[in-house]
């Protein structure tokens, strides 16, 4: 599997438009120890020809331009054969509305995520300009789904949706019932390869069954949103704890780093969906040093790997 990180920040990006915290200020000042990041999205491909986006960030246009294999190869064309959604958060879905201009689009998502996006959403009609423009393919928990090339043939990649502790998107909390399908991780395999990718950008808490998946992967991306539970509270940026937003903090005795550090058999363990306030974003921070000491990496825009 060819993998390219298009964006590695949580919703709002880094720096965030209305944030002047130390991290955001350092990024704007061009500090050598801090890299700006767009919002989380990863491109994957079996053959380097057909590509799939894991989540469609609001910044998808710039992200496509940043990676030449995603550029069109004809007057009207896109090598992007499909988009996979891990939940209905706006930082994962808003980019769908930018992938219009009369281009057919396959979107892989659970029924809950699909309905959360399509119900009560007149904006989505921009993707329904002709019959078949928007084609939803269902992800069912625990069931393998082949990713298709634009011509409908098998791309060589299959994925399986794994329920992950999460929550409804903020804008749907009052209107929809919760479901185990609201937030998923992905188990991605390439035909003929023993090496799997686990993609879990949002994980609200420790679950043994999630780690039973991770430990079989050759590489995993994992929720790196917050370092600590009270990160926003201490910066006086809001009254919510990380867990209230369904993000398991990385740091501390009960943090995800303790668990991820133990997965030495997973060659690449990479944090993604990093919030602008996370001290990991400063590469000279003690938190970043602790991360590297545990054998865990921090995703950045442009990171590539191949399994």
Report the interface residues with its own copies, using CB under 8 A: 11-13, 15-21, 24, 28, 36, 58-62, 64-65, 68, 71-78, 90, 94, 97-103, 116, 119-126, 129, 169-172, 174-175, 235-238
Q: Which is nearer to its own copies, 124 or 137 (CB)?
A: 124
- As given in the structure block, the two tokens for residue 147 are 């990713």
The nearest distance, CB 57 to its own copies, in angstroms, is 10
Q: E strand or H helix at 306, and its extent? A: strand 304-306
CA 218 → CA 24, 58, 228, 305, distances in Å?
33, 29, 27, 11
Cβ within 8 Å of residue 184, ≥6 positions away:
86, 87, 110, 113, 139, 141, 161, 162, 163, 164, 166
Cβ within 8 Å of residue 281, ≥6 positions away:
14, 23, 27, 34, 35, 37, 274, 288, 298
The nearest distance, CB 24 to its own copies, in angstroms, is 8
Dihedral, 30, 32, 33, 37 alpha carbons, nearest 10: 50
Q: Which is nearer to its own copies, 68 or 208 (CB)?
A: 68
Q: Which is nearer to its own copies, 28 or 292 (CB)?
A: 28
The nearest distance, CB 83 to its own copies, in angstroms, is 12
- As given in the structure block, the two tokens for residue 306 are 């191949």
The nearest distance, CB 275 to its own copies, in angstroms, is 11
Find how far residue 98's CA is from the centre of its chain. Answer: 17
- Is the Cβ–Cβ distance between 18 and 62 less than 8 Å? no
Q: Which is nearer to its own copies, 89 or 160 (CB)?
A: 89
Q: Which is nearer to its own copies, 96 or 280 (CB)?
A: 96
Q: How far is Cα 193 from Cα 182, in angstroms, rounded to an integer?
A: 29
The nearest distance, CB 47 to its own copies, in angstroms, is 20
Q: Which is nearer to its own copies, 71 or 292 (CB)?
A: 71
The DSSP bridge pattern shows strands 134-138 and 41-45 to be unpaired
Q: How far is Cα 173 from Cα 205, in angstroms, rounded to an integer?
A: 19
The nearest distance, CB 177 to its own copies, in angstroms, is 14
The nearest distance, CB 18 to its own copies, in angstroms, is 4
Q: Which is nearer to its own copies, 21 or 218 (CB)?
A: 21
- Phi and psi at residue 297, to the nearest 5°: -110, 165
- Is the Cβ–Cβ distance between 50 and 85 less than 8 Å? no
- As given in the structure block, the two tokens for residue 80 are 């992007």
Q: How far is Cα 148 from Cα 88, in angstroms, rounded to an integer?
A: 22
Q: Which is nearer to its own copies, 3 or 64 (CB)?
A: 64
The nearest distance, CB 194 to its own copies, in angstroms, is 34
């Amino acid at each position: 599997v060819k993998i390219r990180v298009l964006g590695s920040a949580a919703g709002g990006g880094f720096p965030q438009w209305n944030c002047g915290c130390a991290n955001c200020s350092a990024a704007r000042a061009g500090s050598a120890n801090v890299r700006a990041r767009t919002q989380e999205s990863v491109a994957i491909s079996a053959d380097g020809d057909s590509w799939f986006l894991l989540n469609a960030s609001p910044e998808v246009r710039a992200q496509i331009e940043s990676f030449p294999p995603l550029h069109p190869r004809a007057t009207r064309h896109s090598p992007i054969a499909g988009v996979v959604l891990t939940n209905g958060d706006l930082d994962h879905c808003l980019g769908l509305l930018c992938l219009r201009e009369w281009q057919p689009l396959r979107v892989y998502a659970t029924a809950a995520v699909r309905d959360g996006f399509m119900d009560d959403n007149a904006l989505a009609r921009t993707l329904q300009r002709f019959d078949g423009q928007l084609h939803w393919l269902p992800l069912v928990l625990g069931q393998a789904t082949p990713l298709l090339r634009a011509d409908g043939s098998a791309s060589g990649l299959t994925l399986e949706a794994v329920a992950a502790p999460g929550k409804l998107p903020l804008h749907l909390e009052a209107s929809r019932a919760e479901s185990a399908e609201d937030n998923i991780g992905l188990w991605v395999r390439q035909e003929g390869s023993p090496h799997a990718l686990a993609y879990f950008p949002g994980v609200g808490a420790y679950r043994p069954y999630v780690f039973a998946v991770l430990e079989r992967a050759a590489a995993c991306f994992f929720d790196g949103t917050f370092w600590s539970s009270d990160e926003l509270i201490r910066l006086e940026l809001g009254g919510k704890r990380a867990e209230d937003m369904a993000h398991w903090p990385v740091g501390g005795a009960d943090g995800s780093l303790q668990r991820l550090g133990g997965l030495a058999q997973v060659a690449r363990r990479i944090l993604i969906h990093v919030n602008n306030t996370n001290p990991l974003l400063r590469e000279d921070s003690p938190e970043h040093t602790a991360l590297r000491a545990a054998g865990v990496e921090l995703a950045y825009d442009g990171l590539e790997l191949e399994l």
